[in-house]
Structure 1
Amino acid sequence: MSRFSQFGNDLYSGRRSFNIVGRRRFWYAVSAVLVVVSLLGLFGRGLNFGIEFSGGTELRVLGVSQIDGYEQRAGDLVDENVPDRTTTVTLIGDDTVRVQTGEMEASQAEDLRADLAQEFSVPVESVTSSLVGPSWGESVTQRALIALVVFLLLVTVVLTLYFRTWKMAAAALVALVHDVLFTVGVYALLGIEVSPASVIGFLTILGYSIYDTIVVFDKVRENTEHALDTHRATYGEAANQAVNQTFVRSINTSIVALLPVLVILVIGVTLIGPGTLVDLAWALFIGIAVGTFSSIFIATPLLVHLREGEPAIRKHDATVAKRRARGEARAGRRAGDQPEEETAHDLVPVGGDVEDLGDAGRRETATVGTPAPARPAPSTAPQGRPLHPYAQRGPRNQPRRKPRG
């Protein structure tokens, strides 16, 4: 068995344990720092919305053979035709230059197409242009927000009915909001472009995060119900054991999910270039990573924090504490009742003689100095019904018959 498997077995059996619930204030602080940094990036730098949300013009130059200095060359042409525009020039694959800029007239777009074709030595037909209005991006945003609200409402209802407590649903929703805020904040800090594919990725990570949280909560419910019946562990201890028992499973699932996304992300950034696949991979990679963190270190500790104030949970924890105190007291009494062997030194005062003790002292000294007669060892033979004294004398003498004369 590998070390990691043995480590997982130790966590499940309880031989090893991470005190995640007990140190929940530390994890709250870590989560708060992440959220604050995300909010600073979100309101400080802002999101880099793609052309689908802000509106503008996108041109693509296909079949470029000389791509040296493509950003500067394309940017200069845009400034000549439509000055004072924010322009983004990226390379897609090995031979496609994408130019995204602000809105322009159709005639200006045609002039820019011709200039790009001449600059990169390609036919005009190899340069495509498309105008995107901001209304399309607004429509996508509204639908995404509606989908988010419906998703959160359904999650709240389902979790409340399944776990029979709204506090589990509240803890899961807090973890979801944490995941979305952190993912959006990373987008703002790194300047990653927000596209419709990114929005789809945001909605996808919500599903993954809630799935991982439900798996942990299901084990929490199982352990806590057993603890409430047996009174052997507090609510927090039972919940912490559930987190440890699902720890390795959560890590393994996350690694398996992150590896293909990471491969897509690396290939997209290095070979394919910006596009829908890369936008989706960015959202999935960040969301899965932070979703794993929240399901382990945020959701369950927050659930325990919410439920420890309930009268039934407080009474249960007090009962467990009293039982443990009684058990420790009994163990202490048993340890104190062990008889100690007496010696002659214990009976003679320090600095005194035997004669100073009088007759009682001499009797005690004699008793101690003279070995007591050995007691017969108890018989190991099975003890049955005691025999009558007459039967213990031996066999009865039978009378002899005299022959007849």
Structure 2
Amino acid sequence: MSEGNSANTAPAAEPGGSGDAKTSLFQRLYTGTGAFDIVGHRKRWFAAFALLILVCAGSLGVKGFNLGIEFEGGTQIQLPAQGAAGPIDEDEAKAVVSEATGVSASEAQVVGVGDSAAVQVRLSSLDPGQVADAKQALFDEFRPLAANGQPSGAVISDSGVSASWGGEISKQALIALAVFLVLVTVFLVIYFEKWMAVSAIITLLHDIVVTAGVYSLVGFEVTPATVIGLLTILGFSLYDTVVVFDKVKENTRGLLNLTRRTYAEAANLALNQTLMRSINTSIIALLPVLGLMVIGYLLLGTGTLQDLALVQLTGMLAGVVSSVLLATPLLVTFKMREPKYREQAERVAERRAERAGAAQAGEAAEGVDPDDYFDPGDDAQLETELRKEKAVAAAASVPARNQKARDRNRGRDQRPRRSGTPTGKSTAGKGTPTGKRKRS
């Protein structure tokens, strides 16, 4: 009994109880027994996320983004990656263009593979004379080969992009983000409740800031495909958070009338029950993103696919971590600020203290339910506990007068009847017609 009492009196410190000795780590992970005290260590997660947000926000403010040509405007010069003297190095091409135009090229990269490989050099806007000088210098230096295998200056192309186009993309993306956040907030308030909506929105904003901060820190180029990918990860992050909150809502229904578990413990149990699902969903979702990056970029050499895959990979990783370690701990912090949940937690602590005192004093267990010594690491106890709580919550939602009337009707229906006799009618003797009484 002392082991069960320990699990009951200090569930946050030893959430696994005796389950640690009975089951392996992976088994508890799959069964969701509440063995991982995520909510109980929420201050650690808050400190880690605050530090991450501070670093990302600082990078955004100091370093900023590596904006692509679509946002800043400029000129792009492209030529085949194969020249008369062999493969063309992108850094050498960048140096040739900078020397010929007098303008420092911002970026040079090789896109595509095999015969379709090409070198792209990007720099600020050039006038037609500078573009012509750059093309001639590239041809004189590398003599790029055409499809027929002969050097040709016609294979060197150029394109110019106005910065206004990228600005319009950014404006529309911000409008879409604002509309999305408003609609999501309304939905969460209606389907769940206020604090769940607030926690989900904070988690969503965290994912946006972290994804943007990673792009700023690493120096990934921001393109229109990056903006599109950023908008797509919002739905994934919100989906995982909603799944966890739905389980929290189920586990905490009718909780204020119970003294077996606090809101924090019920939320932590819900988080454990959906933890493996979150991990599996994330792995399955990341597989096609990795395929998009490997096949689209490394094999096909498409820069747009690389940009799209990078932002989705970063955002999905940030989303799954925040939905597990940030959303539910935030929810518990907000809920425990309400007096009714603090009072319920005090009643739980008092009840456990009484049970612990009775067990230590060796008193008789009169009026003590053996299930009071709850071990969240025991699957059988956990299943019984959840079934009891659902039954109590369901009974609490039915008005008392309807329940009494139903009990009276059930009592009348259960009175003994003779076989073959219609309900509500009786016979006085043999041969008496059904439904008629024999007069004395």
Q: Tell me the distance in 1 between the aligned counterparts of 2:88 and 2:158.
A: 21
Aligned position for 1:106: 128
When the two structures are aligned, how many residues end up with a matched partner? 332
Q: Tell me the distance in 2 between the aligned counterparts of 1:63 and 1:309.
A: 63
Aligned position for 1:92: 111
Gaps of 5+ in 1: 339-405
Q: Tell me the distance in 1 between the aligned counterparts of 2:47 and 2:33.
A: 29
Which has the larger Rg?
1
Identify if the C-alpha distance between structure 1 residues 121 and 68 changes in structure 2 by more than 3 Å, giving closer, same or farther: closer
Q: Which moved more, 1:18-27 or 1:35-44?
A: 35-44
Q: Tell me the distance in 2 between the aligned counterparts of 1:67 and 1:330.
A: 87
CA contact (8 A) 1:91 1:274 kept: no
Gaps of 5+ in 2: 1-22, 146-151, 366-440
Aligned position for 2:407: none
Aligned position for 1:29: 47
From 284, 289, 296, the counterpart of 2:317: 289
1:313-350 superposed Cα distances (whole Å, 9 cap, x missing partner):
122222222322333344345x2469xxxxxxxxxxxx
CA contact (8 A) 1:47 1:187 kept: yes
Q: Tell me the distance in 2 between the aligned counterparts of 1:5 and 1:37.
A: 33
From 59, 68, 93, the counterpart of 1:50: 68
Counterpart residue type for residue 151 of structure 1: F
Aligned-partner SS, 2:126: coil
Instruction: For 1:3-402, list aligned pairs within 5 A.
Output: 6-10=27-31, 12-14=32-34, 17-62=35-80, 64-65=82-83, 68=87, 70-94=89-113, 95-118=117-140, 119-122=142-145, 123-163=152-192, 165-268=193-296, 270-273=298-301, 275-332=303-360, 335-336=362-363
Counterpart residue type for residue 132 of structure 2: E
CA contact (8 A) 1:175 1:299 kept: yes
Q: Tell me the distance in 2 between the aligned counterparts of 1:288 and 1:313.
A: 33
Aligned-partner SS, 1:233: coil
Q: Which moved more, 1:97-106 or 1:321-330?
A: 321-330
Q: Tell me the distance in 2 between the aligned counterparts of 1:294 and 1:85.
A: 41
Counterpart residue type for residue 350 of structure 2: K
Counterpart residue type for residue 54 of structure 1: E
Aligned-partner SS, 2:322: helix
Identify if the C-alpha distance between structure 1 residues 212 and 128 changes in structure 2 by more than 3 Å, giving closer, same or farther: same
Q: Tell me the distance in 1 between the aligned counterparts of 2:281 and 2:364.
A: 54
Q: Over aligned residues, Cα RMSD in angstroms?
A: 2.3
Counterpart residue type for residue 205 of structure 2: V
Aligned-partner SS, 2:252: helix
Aligned position for 2:392: none
1:11-48 superposed Cα distances (whole Å, 9 cap, x missing partner):
x244xx11111110000111112112212322232210
TM-score, length-scaled by structure 1: 0.76
Aligned-partner SS, 2:122: strand
Identify if the C-alpha distance between structure 1 residues 63 and 326 changes in structure 2 by more than 3 Å, giving closer, same or farther: closer
Query: What is the CA distance between 1:113 and its match in structure 2?
Result: 2.9
Counterpart residue type for residue 154 of structure 1: L
Q: Tell me the distance in 1 between the aligned counterparts of 2:252 and 2:298.
A: 49
Identity of aligned residues (%): 43
